[in-house]
Chains A and B, each alone.
Chain A
Amino acid sequence: MTKSGLIEEVAKRTPHISKKDTEVVVNTIFDAMIEALRSGDRIEIRGFGSFQVKIREARDGRNPKTGESVHISAKRTPFFKVGKELKEMVDGVPATEPETEVDGGTSEESAIG
């Protein structure tokens, strides 16, 4: 699905709002999110996930083609952490099911392969 596909689908579900308006709003959502990240703000969308900018410190890399050493300056990189609900949806686990983390519980034995 692309952004235009997303706009189509949103428009389908909101017949009382014009497609043009839907398009403007969808674009504004992502513009606002980019703007937030640009100003170093963290974004948290409940049930979906969170976005955060992290700094990758400067390092000396190597040009893989020439083997030449190059300096890579510090830069900002956006990171996404998937939310619990979406994580479970993607993995096919019902969102209502409790966490089954392997944190020293009693189900270990049955989990051994």
Chain B
Amino acid sequence: MTKAEIVEQIYERVGFSKKEAAELVERVFEIMKETLAEGEKVKISGFGNFVVREKNARKGRNPQTGQEILLDARRVLTFKPSLVLKNVLNETEVTDADRASEAAGE
């Protein structure tokens, strides 16, 4: 699913014009990005929480050369899915067909 398909869904489900739906979809992700860039978390009930975490500087190693390097302190984004979403995904038991489609990268 891409942004274009989300727009399509909005059109199909609530009959909103694609032009306005596309504009709103753009604004939603733009605002979420700006908020997270400021270090503020974004909590979407029923979906999950996006949280910016501070990582301390640490020593790492270049896996190719084995050389030790200092990794700077940085900020990373984490996503914690809501319990509702996790439950929705597990309404039915995991089957071999699920494993096959996961392996196929769908």
Contact = CB atoms under 8 A, between A and B. Distances in A.
Nearest to A113: B70
Interface residues of B, number: 66
B101 A40 contact: yes
A60 to B, nearest CB: 16
B27 A13 contact: yes
A82 B76 CA distance: 9
B56 interface: no
Interface residues of A, number: 62
Contacts of B40: 1
Given A6-B42, A14-B27, A40-B106, A86 B33 contact: yes
Interface of B: 1-3, 5-6, 9-10, 13-14, 16, 20-21, 23-25, 27-29, 31-33, 35-37, 39-48, 50, 52, 59-60, 62, 64-65, 67-70, 74-79, 81, 85-86, 88-91, 93-94, 98-99, 101-102, 105-106
